[in-house]
Amino acid sequence: MIDRAKAFLSLEADAILGAAARLDHNFSDAAACLAAARHKIVLTGIGKSGRIAEKLAATFSSTGLPAVFLHAAEAVHGDVGVLSPGDPVVLLSRSGATAELLHLLPTLRTFGCPLIALLGNRNSPLAQEADMVLDATVPPACDPFGVPAGSITAALALGHALALAVAEIRQFSHADFARLHPAGQIGRNLHLRVHQTMHRDYPAVSLGAPLRELIIEMTRRPLGAACVVDADAHLLGLITDGDLRRALARHDDIRVLCAADIMTPNPVTASPDLLLHQALTLMEDRPSQISVLPVLHPETQTCQGLLRIHDIYSAR
């Protein structure tokens, strides 16, 4: 079953690569059309394609372009009232011959809606009627047993690519994303700063502090590390729980050791005004990840606190 699962995943990956290889001016035209929308964009479909359309509407909205999902069957029973004149409409269909979408086309035209079709059949009735066509065609093997799998993956990936392209055209920024996602982890990391999350009461010892004093200090303030500082709170080094364990493993007699013997000099540090996502990059985007950052005042370079990776992920 693992081999079969790998085969299925490979088929879906191939479906995405196939869609990428077929990109043409229709994609750039569609991105420009959506980016220029005056009011909102509308995504519509039915069945599995409708579920993808609904998800993509949420993606576009999350990147600053108002978008709504219009159920293709309910549209002609009053829901088409959500349309404003000129709203671009993205129609999703695996076959390109979905009856509900074809019945909806004349109504969409009366609203002057540009039509972007994201289809699994380039030579279909919907493809002939659309202003722009995005080709999400996949080989039959990508949908084993006829179950929409690779075709849905290709449509979703193509929709994501379109949403991100539109976001770039509209110069959507990290700050914009944070404003629209105030309650999520990503949003918090984009608007909270280190000084709002760091521990100001942190363990600190002098350069010559014996290990016993160090262990007591790290036990009293269990943050996973201790700062080694001078009399003016300038950072000289950092000692993590891992450094302490390794020192105990290497030395039979730890009574002769002091903080200077086991600290890491010149550790990676953060400033208080750094955004949490920037601090997270400092911790994770490196060959050997770190879990604690000393926080230094940008002018005096004195130690202000400690930031743990756990604090970033639990930030409120």
Nearest residue to 52 (alpha-carbon basis) of 124, 154, 184:
154
Report, at the CATH architecture level, how domain 2-172 is classified. Answer: 3-Layer(aba) Sandwich (3.40)
Q: Alpha-carbon distance 288 to 243, whole Å? A: 14
Burial (CB count <10 Å: 0-12, 13-18, 19+), residue 202: buried
- How do residues 96-105 score in pLDDT, each as one tens digit? 999 999 999 9
Q: Is the pLDDT of residue 40 over 70?
A: yes
Six-digit token pair at 266? 């010149």
User: Which H/E stretch holds residue 103?
Assistant: helix 99-110
All structural domains of the chain with their residue ranges: 2-172, 194-313
Nearest residue to 104 (alpha-carbon basis) of 49, 113, 95, 26:
113
Q: Is the pLDDT of residue 66 over 80?
A: yes
Six-digit token pair at 197? 């999350």
Helix axes 150-169, 25-35, angle to 10 degrees: 60
In terms of pTM, does the model score above 0.85?
no
Q: Is the pLDDT of residue 315 over 60?
A: no
Mean pLDDT for all residues in the chain? 92
Q: What average pLDDT does this structure show over 224-237?
A: 95
- Domain 194-313 fold: CBS-domain (3.10.580)
Q: Alpha-carbon distance 10 to 6, whole Å? A: 6
Report CA 74 to chain centroid distance, whole Å. Answer: 32
Backbone φ, ψ for residue 304 (5° rounding): -105, -20
pLDDT of residue 187: 63
CA angle 300, 302, 305 (to 5 degrees): 135
- How do residues 235-257 score in pLDDT, each as one tens digit? 999 999 999 999 888 888 878 89
Q: Are 172 and 163 in contact (CB under 8 A)?
A: no
2-172 and 194-313 have identical folds: no
